[in-house]
Amino acid sequence: MEHMFKDVLKKGEVIVKIYKPDKVRFWWGWLLATFFSLVWILSGIIIPLGFPGGGTATQFLIATLVSVGVFAVSFALCVVAGVLWYKNRFHAFTDKRVLIRGGIIGIDYKSLDFKSLTATVVKVGVLDKILRRNTGSIKFGSAASPILSFSSSTGHSNQYIFFHIVNPYQDLRDITEYMDQKAAETEKKGE
């Protein structure tokens, strides 16, 4: 899988470990979010027509059929987008930085140098617990891209997230221990 990052590796940079999101956890989250989003959107069309004075039986039937059609097409498009997201998503850390590869239409790369990394958070959500897959997401923060709470009003979202990783606590421990080891080696060379 190292070839997935060949376009962005610096000369002499070595990939230490590559992660792929857990497939079961990803699909449960993706499909549930898609389903509930579409149900709420489409219920705003159908429900008002069902009330007295909201429309005739024919209008209700047409709205229902159109809504079911829109739901089916939208759901299919979301599934295709999910397949592409999962196929293209990889996380890695090298001897110098954290790398994220992803994208639905094209391939995008994000990187955060260890020297810029100032905060880490492991997030284990309700779905992670329900599915019992030992998954979670690891967030990495810096001064330029801080880790903010979900209710932040700034509109800024952290871009450096390893989504749906198996054993997130152990993996974060491995990454931070490696970073500490590299920092100690660099400091020793500087003496």
d(CA 15, CA 32): 34
35 with 104, same domain: the answer is no
Identify whether the C-beta of residue 140 lies closer than 8 Å to the C-beta of residue 118: no
Q: Are 63 and 131 in the same domain?
A: no
pLDDT in tens, 135-184: 999 999 887 777 776 544 555 566 899 999 999 999 999 999 999 998 88
Same domain, 149 and 167: yes
Nearest to 109 by CA among 179, 11, 1, 6: 6
Compute the residue count for the chain: 191
Tens digit of each residue's pLDDT (9 = 90 or more) over 18-32: 999 999 999 999 999
Structural domains of the chain, count: 2
Least confident of 29-43, 97-111, 142-156: 142-156
- Distance between CA atoms of residues 102 and 100, nearest Å: 7
Q: Give mean pLDDT, residues 3-11.
A: 91
Residue 14's pLDDT is 93
Q: Could you tell me the pLDDT band of residue 51, with boundaries at 50, 70 and 90?
A: low
CATH number, domain at 139?
2.30.29.30
Of 80-84, 97-101, 160-164, 185-189, the one with minimum mean pLDDT is 185-189
Domain that holds residue 78: 29-84
Between 104 and 189, the more confident residue is: 104
- When mean pLDDT is compared across 42-46, 113-117, 182-186, the lowest value belongs to 42-46
Quote the CA–CA distance of 99 and 93 in Å, as a whole number: 6
Q: Are residues 106 and 34 in the same domain?
A: no
**Whether residue 170 sits in one domain with residue 108:** yes
Q: pLDDT at residue 53 above 70? A: no
Q: Looking at the structure, tell me whether residues 79 and 111 fall in a common domain.
A: no
- Are 105 and 61 contained in the same domain? no
- Are residues 97 and 156 both part of a single domain? yes
**C-alpha to C-alpha distance for 67 and 75, rounded to whole angstroms:** 12
